[in-house]
A = this chain, B = another copy of it.
């Protein structure tokens, strides 16, 4: 009969064995980005996470500084033919007109009614001042609670015209994998969007696992007010506080986060300054741009690389050239993504 090992040794051996087994098991099934094809983009993301999280690595970054910023429209979910936050505003117009019938004959509301009857892409006919007017009327002039309820209701019912699915299902599976992979490695993931901050916050936790306090977006002034019963509420004033696009992105990041991200991802000119700001810090950095070059599975637009030009999420050749020069990763939807949507 063999000598019985001491309790301590026995316990140690058993625990070590269990950990090894678990470890091997995890490794065997542990491609963190299964919807990505093997290629430079996938390799760059994995190398960046390994470099910044491996203790002793020259590029190691302490956990609190692992901040990653993601644009939403066109980076985390579909933005064509129209940004969902704009679709929301347009689809509120019929109810507006029902409450105030005289609006039916007043531009730009009359134009919107025409658009809603037919081609959604016709929204490009609206001028910027038109759009601002519609956004002001549908995003402000009510309490935060009322706005949140309206958006939540719309999000549950509205459907994208092409896929006939809720907008919240049109997120890119490969990017959802990146978000999860980063968080599993101690990163704090943020959305930094030109869309409405209050709008995105209503669904960010459910859709991306990102809590409201980690959403930086275009924000208006809110005013602390009192209802007739004396209960306080926040009123959304028709006044812009932060335009979270272009230079507004790094400015918004400073306001809301107060640290420079070490990783940023976007897909258009509106993200350029965020990527530039992220990349000009010291140490390991990863900047990433999604190129929509897959007309079949999603959309194709640039005009970079000779893709069709667009007003929604423009990715110019100059931005492409800058990315190449600065070693920002350009992700080709067509080549880098094995699968685009979870429902495929």
A-to-B contact residues, CB < 8 Å: 4, 7, 10-11, 14, 64, 67, 144, 188, 197-198, 201, 205, 211-213, 215, 219, 221-224, 231-232, 234, 241, 247, 250-251, 254-259, 273, 276-277, 280
Contact = CB atoms under 8 A, between A and B. Distances in A.
7 contacts: A4-B4, A64-B205, A213-B258, A224-B277, A232-B277, A255-B256, A256-B256
B273 A250 contact: no
A224 B212 contact: no
A2 to B, nearest CB: 12
A256 B256 CA distance: 6
Nearest to A259: B212
Contacts of A11: 11, 14
Given A219-B255, A256-B213, A232 B198 contact: no
A251 B183 CA distance: 29
Nearest to A212: B258
Given A67-B213, A198-B258, A212-B259, 11 more contacts: A4-B4, A7-B14, A11-B14, A64-B205, A201-B258, A221-B251, A223-B251, A224-B250, A232-B250, A232-B277, A234-B250
Contact of A254 (B14, B211, B234): B234
Contacts of A222: 251, 254-255
A198 B258 CA distance: 8
A280 B230 CA distance: 10
Contacts of A223: 247, 251
A13 to B, nearest CB: 11
